[in-house]
C-alpha cells in the first residue's frame, strides 16, 4: 500500500505534545492519553467516495483513515455489518426513523471489538511484537484470542474471574492463555498496565491503545456511508471505557474534514450505561467535570462494567457539547431492552444492547430525544454470549409426545375439523 | 515508617533511574512529599498546581486511593505505594 500512510504521529489530548509512532499510550509529561494524528490535507487529496465504494465491504475500505503503515495483516474481513432500518422497534418506541447498527454479527467474534483488534494486532505485527494481550470484560478477550490465533501470535488475556462462562470459554477455545483475576475489571486493567510497562508486550488496550481505539471509527464511517454519505441526527451508544462514542463522532468529523461528506457534523451523541456501573452517565447528569469511579460495579451488563473509564472525561464532554445526554438503566430494564430488540427486529444483542435500547426508551420518555428525528442505535455485541442474563425471562418450551392430539390440545385446536 | 514507592518506567529518569524508592510518611501526602524532596524533578510529572494529575493513579497495596481517603490515606510501615498511568482499558 504505497503512500497510503497518513499518520504523522501520536499527540497528547491534554497538552498537544507530539510523539513518533510507537507503542505508547500516554504523554510522558502529564500522562494524558495519546491519540493518532493524521495529515488530513494530504488524505483529502487521496480519498474519494468512488475509491472507497469500489473496495470490498468492510472496515478496511476506509484504510486511509486508519493507522497502519501497510495493509492489514490481521482481520482483513472485519466490519461491514448491516445498518438495519428498524421499523418495528421504531413503532414500539414511538419514533419515526430508527436504525440499528448491528455489530452483533461482526466477524469473527460477534462484537465491535473485532474492529479495534484488527487494527491493534496488525499494528503489533508492524511493531514486530510476538506476544499480545489485553484486559477484558469479555468481548475483547474473544476477539484478541481469535484474531491472534489467525495471526500466529502468543496471547495472554486477563479477565475478571467472575465473567460469563461463555465469554471465558469463547476465549480459551482459540488457544489463548486466559487468566482469571479475582477482582474488578479496573483491577485487571491496572495489573495489565503494570505488566505492559514491565515486559513491553503488546497489550491492545494499554500500550497499543491509541491505534486500537481508532478501529472503532469504522463503525461511524459505515453508518454514514450506509445512510447515503450523511450523518444521523442522533446516535445512542453504549459506554464502558467511553472510547467508542467518541470515535463514532470523530469518524463523522473526519468524513467532513476530508471532504467525503459536505455537511458539518451536528449529530447529538447519547450514552448508555447500566445503573449498577454508571460513572460516565452520573458525571453527565450531575454536572461533574470528571467522573467519580465506581469501586464495585454490580450489574448483569458485565461488558460495560468499567468503574473507572479511561475516556470518561472526554465522553462526558462530547455528550454535553454535542447536545446529547446520558442515562443508565436497571438490570430489569436491560433484560426488557434485550427482549424488545429480539422480538421486534430479530436481533439478539447482548446485555449492552439491551442497555442501549432501554436507555434510548428512557431518553425518549424524558423528551430529551425528539420522536420525529432520525436515530441510530449501536448494538455492539451478541446475545448468544450473555444468555444467562435472559434465561429466567424466557418461557420454557412446552413438551409433548409426537402425537397430533397432544399438539392440538396444546395449541388450543382440539375439535377443529380435519382438512383432509 | 518506611514506604516502598514503585516508580513507573516513564518517571524513572526523574527518579535517578530507580524502579523503587524508599520514602517516609504517615499518609500518602507525606510519602509523596518525601519522594519529591528526594527527587524534585518528579514534581511537575505528578502534580499540577499542587494537585495530583488526573491521569496518575496512586495505589496503596494495590488499592486505589480514591476508594480510601485520597491523599490523606494513612500508611503503615512496609506498605507499597504504586504510581500508575491511568490511560488504559475499555
Instruction: Looking at the complex, report in whole angstroms how far the Cα of residue A170 sits from the nearest Cα belonging to chain B.
Output: 19
Q: Which residues contact A320 (CB under 8 A, 6 or more apart)?
A: A284
- Same domain? A208 vs A240: no
Which residues of A lie closer than 8 Å to B, measured between beta carbons?
A: 14, 25-26, 28-34, 135, 185-187, 189-190, 192-194, 196-197, 203, 205-206, 209, 213, 240-243, 290, 293, 295, 306, 308-311, 313
Average pLDDT over residues A314-338: 98
Confidence of residue A330 (pLDDT cuts 50, 70, 90): very high
Range of the domain at B15: 2-85
Q: What is the pTM of this model?
A: 0.95
Does pLDDT of A72 surpass 60?
Answer: yes
> Are both A194 and A326 inside the same structural domain?
no
Nearest CB among B44, B56, B88 relative to A189 is that of: B88
Torsion angle defined by CA atoms of residues A56, A221, A307 and A133, in that order, rounded to the nearest 10 degrees: 30
> Per-residue pLDDT for A2 more than 60?
no
Instruction: Judge: A190–B10 Cβ closer than 8 Å, yes or no.
Output: no
Residue A246 has a pLDDT of: 98
A93 and A128 both lie in a single domain:
no
Residues A199 and A335 in one domain: no
Strands (E), A136-284: 154-160, 177-181, 202-203, 234-238, 268-274
The count of domains in chain A is: 2
Note whether A166 and A239 are same-domain residues.
Answer: no
What pLDDT score was predicted for residue B10? 87
- CB–CB contact B88 A25 (8 Å): yes
Say whether the ipTM exceeds 0.95.
Answer: no
- Are A337 and A275 in the same domain? yes
Q: What gap in Å lies between CA B80 and CA A251, rounded to an integer?
A: 42
In CATH, what number is assigned to the domain containing residue A180?
Answer: 3.40.50.1100
Grouping H, G, I as helix, E, B as strand and the rest as coil, residue A42 is helix
Q: How many CB pairs under 8 A join A and B?
A: 86
Average pLDDT, stretch A233-245?
98
In a shared domain, residues A190 and A268? no
Residues A331 and A310 in one domain: yes
Q: Please, what is the angle between helix A279-286 and helix A312-322, to 10°?
A: 40
Domain end, chosen from A176, A197, A212, is at A212
Contact B53, B46 (CB under 8 A): yes
The reply to whether A187 and A322 lie within a common domain is no
Q: Is residue A420 part of a domain?
A: no
The CA distance from B87 to the nearest CA of chain A, in Å, is: 5
Name residues whose C-beta falls within 8 Å of residue A355's C-beta, 6 or more positions apart in sequence.
A238, A272, A273, A274, A301, A304, A329, A334, A337
Q: Is the CB of B41 inside 8 Å of chain A's CB atoms?
A: no
Q: Is B90 among the domain residues?
A: no
Does A277 lie in the same domain as A151? Answer: no
B55 touches chain A (CB under 8 A): yes
Q: And the C-alpha cell for A131?
A: 506476544
Percent of residues, chain A, with pLDDT higher than 70: 97
Subunit contact B8:A197, Cβ cutoff 8 A: yes
Q: What is the mean pLDDT of chain A?
A: 95
pLDDT of residue B24: 97
User: B7 is written with which cell numbers?
Assistant: 516508580
Distances from the Cα of A43 to the Cαs of A6, A72, A229, A409, in angstroms?
6, 18, 18, 68
Of A171, A197, A212, the last residue of a domain is: A212
Number of domains in chain B: 1
C-alpha cell at A350: 447482548
Mean pLDDT (whole number) for B14-18? 95
The answer on A239 and A155 residing in a single domain is no
Domain span including residue A340? 83-108+216-386
Whether residues A243 and B90 touch (CB distance < 8 A) is answered with yes
Picking from A30-39, A354-363, A407-416, B55-64, which range would have the lowest pLDDT averaged per residue? A407-416
DSSP A162: T
Assigned domain for A122 exists: yes
Domain closes at, from A187, A212, A237: A212
Q: Is residue B54 part of a domain?
A: yes
Q: Is residue B35 part of a domain?
A: yes
Question: Can you give the CATH number for the domain in which B62 is found?
Answer: 3.10.20.30
Amino acid at each position: 500500500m504505497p503512500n497510503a500512510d497518513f499518520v504523522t504521529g501520536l499527540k497528547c489530548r491534554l497538552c498537544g505534545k507530539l510523539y513518533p509512532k510507537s507503542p505508547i499510550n500516554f504523554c510522558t509529561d502529564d500522562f494524558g492519553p495519546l491519540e493518532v494524528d493524521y495529515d488530513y490535507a494530504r488524505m483529502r487529496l487521496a480519498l474519494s467516495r468512488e475509491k472507497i465504494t469500489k473496495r470490498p465491504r468492510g472496515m478496511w475500505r476506509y484504510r486511509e483513515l486508519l493507522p497502519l503503515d501497510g495493509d492489514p495483516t490481521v482481520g482483513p474481513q472485519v466490519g461491514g455489518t448491516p445498518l438495519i432500518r428498524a421499523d418495528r422497534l421504531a413503532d414500539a418506541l414511538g419514533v419515526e426513523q430508527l436504525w440499528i447498527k448491528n455489530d452483533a454479527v461482526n466477524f469473527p467474534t460477534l462484537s465491535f471489538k473485532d474492529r479495534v483488534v484488527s487494527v491493534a494486532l496488525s499494528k503489533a505485527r508492524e511493531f514486530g511484537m510476538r506476544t499480545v494481550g489485553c484486559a477484558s470484560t469479555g468481548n475483547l478477550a474473544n476477539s484478541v484470542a481469535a484474531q491472534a490465533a489467525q495471526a500466529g501470535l502468543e496471547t495472554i488475556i486477563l479477565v475478571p474471574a467472575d465473567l460469563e462462562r461463555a465469554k471465558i470459554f469463547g476465549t480459551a477455545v482459540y488457544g489463548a492463555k486466559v487468566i482469571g483475576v479475582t477482582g474488578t475489571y479496573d483491577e485487571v486493567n491496572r495489573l495489565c498496565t503494570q505488566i505492559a510497562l514491565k515486559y513491553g508486550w503488546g497489550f491492545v488496550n494499554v500500550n497499543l491503545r491509541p491505534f486500537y481505539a481508532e478501529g472503532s471509527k469504522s463503525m461511524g464511517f459505515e453508518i454514514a456511508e450506509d445512510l447515503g454519505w450523511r450523518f444521523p441526527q442522533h446516535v445512542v451508544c453504549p459506554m464502558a471505557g467511553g472510547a467508542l462514542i467518541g470515535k463514532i463522532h470523530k469518524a463523522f468529523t473526519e468524513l467532513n474534514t476530508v471532504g467525503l461528506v459536505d455537511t458539518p457534523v451536528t449529530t447529538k451523541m447519547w450514552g448508555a450505561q447500566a445503573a449498577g456501573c454508571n460513572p460516565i452517565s452520573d458525571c453527565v447528569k450531575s454536572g461533574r467535570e470528571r467522573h467519580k469511579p465506581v469501586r464495585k460495579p454490580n450489574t448483569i451488563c458485565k461488558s460495560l462494567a468499567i468503574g473507572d473509564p479511561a475516556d470518561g472525561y472526554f465522553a462526558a464532554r462530547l455528550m454535553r457539547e454535542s447536545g446529547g445526554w446520558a442515562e443508565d438503566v436497571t438490570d430489569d430494564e436491560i433484560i426488557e431492552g434485550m427482549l424488545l430488540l429480539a422480538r421486534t427486529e430479530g436481533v439478539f444483542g447482548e446485555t449492552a444492547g439491551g442497555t442501549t435500547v432501554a436507555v434510548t426508551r428512557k431518553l425518549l420518555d424524558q423528551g430529551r430525544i425528539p420522536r420525529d428525528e432520525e436515530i441510530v442505535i449501536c448494538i455492539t455485541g451478541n446475545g448468544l454470549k450473555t444468555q444467562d442474563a435472559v434465561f429466567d425471562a424466557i418461557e420454557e418450551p412446552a413438551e409433548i409426545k409426537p402425537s397430533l392430539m397432544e399438539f392440538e390440545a396444546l395449541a388450543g385446536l382440539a375439535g377443529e375439523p380435519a382438512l383432509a | 515508617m518506611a514506604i516502598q514507592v514503585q516508580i513507573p518506567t516513564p518517571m524513572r529518569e526523574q527518579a535517578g533511574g530507580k524502579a523503587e524508592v524508599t520514602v517516609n510518611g504517615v499518609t500518602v501526602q507525606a510519602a509523596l512529599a518525601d519522594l519529591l524532596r528526594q527527587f524534585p524533578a518528579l514534581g511537575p510529572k505528578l502534580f499540577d498546581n499542587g494537585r495530583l494529575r488526573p491521569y496518575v493513579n496512586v495505589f496503596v497495596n494495590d488499592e486505589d486511593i480514591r476508594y480510601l481517603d485520597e491523599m490523606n490515606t494513612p500508611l503503615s510501615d512496609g506498605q507499597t505505594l504504586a504510581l500508575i498511568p491511568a490511560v488504559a482499558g475499555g
